[in-house]
Structure 1
Amino acid sequence: MKKPPIIWLNVAVFLITFLFAAVAVPYRAFTHGFDGAEITMAVLCFIYCGMSITAGYHRLWSHKTYQAHWSLRLLFALGGAFALQNSILHWSSDHRIHHKHVDKNDKDPYSAKMGFWYSHIGWMLREYQAHRYANYDNARDLQKDPIVMWQHKHYLLLTIAMNVGVPLLFGLWHGDVISSLLLVGFLRLVLSHHTTFFINSLAHIWGKQTYTDKNTARDNGVLAFFTFGEGYHNYHHIFENDYRNGIRWWQFDPTKWLIKGCEWLKLTSKLRTSPEDKVEKARLAMILKRSQLKLKSHPEAELMLERLQQEYDALIAKLNDFYAARKQLLANKRDQLLADVEKSELVKQYKELKLRLAEQQRSWHLLTAKLA
C-alpha cells in the first residue's frame, strides 16, 4: 500500500525545534548557563501555552463546556498560536472528529489503534486524511466567533509574532537574546508540543479505564500532572461536556481550577458538569464488569456471580433512591425557606437514605475488595 505524501513543513518544524531543544539547549546550559529569570520565563510561557490549549482549544472551543469573556478568549487565541498547534478552528474540528469516531482508524485523525508513534506525532507528518484540511462543517458554531476567525485568518502571522517576538523581546529586555530564544523559544515549544501529544498517545495506552472500556482512553494521574489535568482521559471520553477532567477534589486538574477561578472574576460562566449519579453508575458498572471477569475462574463462580449481581443491584437501587431524594430536596430548597425545608419529613428521609447508601457501599466495597 502506497503511503500518503509527506508534509515536509511539519517534518521540518518538528525536527528543527527538537534538535535545538535536545542539542543546542544543553550545550548552552553547559557553556553559558541559564539564570533564574530565563528559567522562570520559560516555565511561565510553557504554562500559558498549555493552559491555552487545555482551557481554550479543548474545553472551551472543542467541547463548549463553558462560556468565556472575549478578553479571556483573546488570551487563549494568542496562547494557542504560541503553542503552534494549528488554529482554534482546525484543532477543534479535528478533535470533534476524534471524539465522534474514536479508535476508528479510517476516521479518527489520531487513532490510538494505529500505534503510539502514529497517534503521538505520525498523523501530522503525512497527508493521511487530506480531505479534512479545509472542511470545518462540524465547527460552524465556532465560525460565528470573531476571535476564532481572526486567529484562523492571521494564524501564520500570529505564530511568528508569538514564537519569535516573545522570546526576542524578553531576551532584549533581559540582556541575553540567544539564551531566551533557546529556552523560551525552542525548549518551551518542544515541551508544549509533546506534553499535548501525550494525550493522543499515552493517555490512550497507559492508565485505568475507570468509567468505560468502549474506547482506548485511560485515566492517569501522572499524565495529568504534565498536561494540566488532561490525564483523566477515560472520564473525559464518556463525559466530554464536563468542564472538569479530574472530578475529585484531590485530582490534579489546574485547568479546572483556572476555569472555576475565572468564574469568580466574571470571566467564565455556564460551567457544565455531569450528573453525579451517572458518573457513579458508570464507575460501578466497570467495577462490576472487572469483578465478573475475575470470578469466571473461581471454584464457586456461579454462586459468587449471583451474590455480586445482587449486591450491585441493591447498591444501584439505593443510589437511585438517594439521588432522587436529593433532587427533590434541592428543588424544595429553591421553592421554600431553608428553615422550613430542614424541618420537613423529606430531610429525614434524605438522611436515612444517605445512611442506607453508605451501608450498601461498604458492603459492595468489602465484596469487590476480596476480588481485587
Structure 2
Amino acid sequence: MKKPKIIWLNVSVFLLTFLFAAIAVPYRAITHGFDSTEILMAVACFIYCGMSITAGYHRLWSHKTYQAHWSLRIIYALGGAFALQNSILHWSSDHRIHHKHVDNNDVDPYSAKRGFWYSHIGWMLREYQVHRYTNYDNVRDLQKDAIVMWQHKHYLLLTVSLNFGIPLLFGWWHGDIISSLLLVGVLRLVLSHHTTFFINSLAHIWGKQTYTEKNTARDNGFLALLTFGEGYHNFHHIFENDYRNGIRWWQFDPTKWLIKSCHYLGLTDKLRTSPEDKIEKARLAMILKRSQQKLSNHPNAEQLLERLQHEYDALIHKINDYYAIKKALLTTKRDQLIADVEKSEMMSQYQELKQRLTEQRRSWQFFIEKLA
C-alpha cells in the first residue's frame, strides 16, 4: 500500500525545533548559561500555551463544557497560536472526530491502536486524511464564534508574530536575544508540543481504565502533572462534557482550577459537571468486572461470585435511593427556606439513606479488600 505524501513543512518544523532544543539549548546553557528571569519567562510562556490548549481549545471549544467571556477567549486564541498547534477550528474538528470514532484506525485522526509513534506525532507528518483538511461540518457551532474565525483566518500571521515576536521582544528588553530565542522560543515550543501530544499517545497506553474499557484511554496522575490536568483521560472519554478531568480534590487539574477561578471573577459561566451517581456507578462497574475476572478460577468461584454480585446490587440500590432523595432535597431547598427543609421529614430520610449508603460502601470495600 502506497504511503500518503509527506508534509514537509510539518516535518521541518518538528525536526528543526527538536534539534535546536536538544543540541543548541544545552550548548548555550553550558557555554553561556540562562538566568532566573529567562527561565521564569520560558516557564510562564509554557504554562500560557498549555492552558490555552487545555482550557481553551479542548474544554471550551471542542467540548463546550463551559462558556467564557470574550476577553478570555481572545487570551486563549492568542495562546493557542503561540502554542503552534493549528487553529481552534481545525484542532476542535480533529478532536471531535477523535472522540466520536476513538480507536477506529480508518477515521480517528490519531488512533492509539496504530501505535505510539503514529498517535504521538506520525499522524501529522503525512497526508493521512487530506480529504477532510478543509471540511469543518462538525464544528459549525464554532464558525459562529467571531474570535474563532478571526484566529482561523489570521492563524499564520498570529503564530509567526507570537513565536518570534515574544522571544525577540523579551530578549531585547532583557539584553540577551539569543538566549531568549532558544529558551522562550524553541525549548518552550518543543515542550508545549510534546506534552500535549502525550495525551494522544501515552494517555491511551499508560495508566488505569478506571471508568470504562470501551476505549484505550487511561487515567494517569503523572501525565496530569505534565499536561495541566489532562492525564485523567479515561474519565474524560466517558464524561467528555464535564469541565473537570481530575474530579477528586487531590487530583492535579490546574485547568479545572483556572476555569473555576475565572467563574468567581465572572469570566466563565455554565460550568458543566457529570452526575455524581453516574460517575460512581461507572467506577463500581469496572471494579465488579475486574473482581469477577479475578474470581473466575477460584475453587469457590460460584459462591464468591454470587456474594460479589449481591454486594454490588445492594450498593447500587442504596446509591439510587441516596441520590434520588438528595436530588429531591435540593429541589425542595430551592423552593422553600433552609430552616423549613431541615425540619422536614425529607431531611430525616436523607440523613438515614446517607448513613445506609456509607455502611454499604464499607461492606463493599471490605469484601473487595478480602478478595485482593
- Aligned pair count reads 372
Task: Spell out structure 1 runs of 4+ moving beyond 2 A.
Answer: none
Cα distance in structure 1, aligned partners of 2:369 and 2:156:
55
Aligned-partner residue type, residue 143 of structure 2: Q
- The AA in structure 1 aligned to 2:276 is E
Distance in 2 between the 1:288 and 1:130 partners?
43
Superposition map of 1:233-244 within 5 A: 233-244=233-244
**What is the deviation of 1:370?**
2.1
Write the deviation string for residues 325-370 of structure 1: whole angstroms up to 9, x where unpaired.
1001101100011101000111111111011001100110111112
Distance in 2 separating the partners of 1:164 and 1:322: 56
CA distance in 1 between partners of 2:320 and 2:89 (Å): 41
How far residue 131 of structure 1 moved from its aligned partner, in angstroms, is 1.2
Residue type of the alignment partner of 2:280 = E
- Deviation of residue 132 (structure 1)? 1.8
Query: What do the CA deviations read for 1:229-288 (whole angstroms, capped 9, x no partner)?
Result: 000000000000000000001100000000000001110000000000000000000000
User: What amino acid sits opposite 2:285 in the alignment?
Assistant: A
Distance in 1, Cα, partners of 2:322 & 2:8: 58
- What is the identity, as a one-letter code, of the residue corresponding to 2:102? V
Q: In structure 2, what is the equivalent of residue 300 of structure 1?
A: 300
Distance 1:351 1:77 in 2: 47
The residue number in structure 2 matching 1:284 is 284
Q: Distance in 2 between the 1:161 and 1:262 partners?
A: 27
- Residue of structure 1 equivalent to 2:87: 87
Paired residue type of 1:240:
E
Normalised to the residue count of structure 1, the TM-score between the two structures is 1.00
Question: How many angstroms apart in 2 are the aligned matches of 1:248 and 1:237?
Answer: 17
Aligned residue in 2 for 1:67: 67
Structure 1 equivalent of residue 356 of structure 2 = 356
- In structure 1, stretches of 5+ residues that fail to align are none
Q: Match of 2:199?
A: 199
Instruction: Give the % identical residues.
Output: 82
Task: Name the residue aligned to 1:313.
Answer: 313
| Residues 1:160 and 2:163 aligned together | no
TM-superposed deviation, 1:114: 0.2
Distance 2:160 2:6 in 1: 23
Counterpart in 2 of 1:119? 119
User: 2:127 corresponds to which letter in structure 1?
Assistant: E
Structure 1: how far apart are the matches of 2:327 and 2:66? 23
Other structure's SS at 1:364 match: helix
How far residue 94 of structure 1 moved from its aligned partner, in angstroms, is 0.1
Q: Distance in 1 between matches of 2:68 and 2:369?
A: 43
- Once residues 49 and 131 of structure 2 are traced to their aligned partners in structure 1, the CA distance between those partners, rounded to angstroms, is 28
Distance in 1 between residues matched to 2:91 and 2:371, nearest whole Å: 43
2-structure distance, mates of 1:54, 1:100 = 19
**In 1, Cα distance between the equivalents of 2:42 and 2:297?**
54
CA distance in 2, matches of 1:61, 1:334: 32
What is residue 186 of structure 2 aligned with on the other side? 186
Q: 1:299-341 CA distances to partner (integer Å, 9 max, x unpaired)?
A: 1001100000000000000000000010011011000111010
| Equivalent position of 1:144 in the other structure | 144
Q: What is the letter of the counterpart of residue 260 of structure 1?
A: K
Which amino acid counterpart does residue 129 of structure 2 have in structure 1?
Answer: Q
Alignment of 1:228 onto 2:244: no
> CA–CA distance in 2 between the matches of 1:270 and 1:168?
39
1:338 is aligned to 2:338: yes
How far is the alpha carbon of 1:371 from its aligned partner?
2.3
Tell me how far apart the structure 1 counterparts of residues 102 and 68 of structure 2 sit (CA, whole Å). 28
Which residue number corresponds to residue 135 of structure 1? 135
Offset of residue 162 of structure 1: 0.6
Q: Supply the distance in 2 between the matched residues of 1:59 and 1:129 (Cα, whole angstroms).
A: 24
Distance 1:85 1:370 in 2: 48
Which residue matches 2:272? Answer: 272
Quote how far apart the aligned CAs of 1:16 are.
0.3
Aligned to 2:219: 219
Measured after TM superposition, the shift of residue 68 of structure 1 is 0.3
* TM-score after normalising by structure 2: 1.00
Which residue is 2:365 aligned to?
365
Inter-partner Cα distance in structure 2 for 1:312 and 1:106:
38
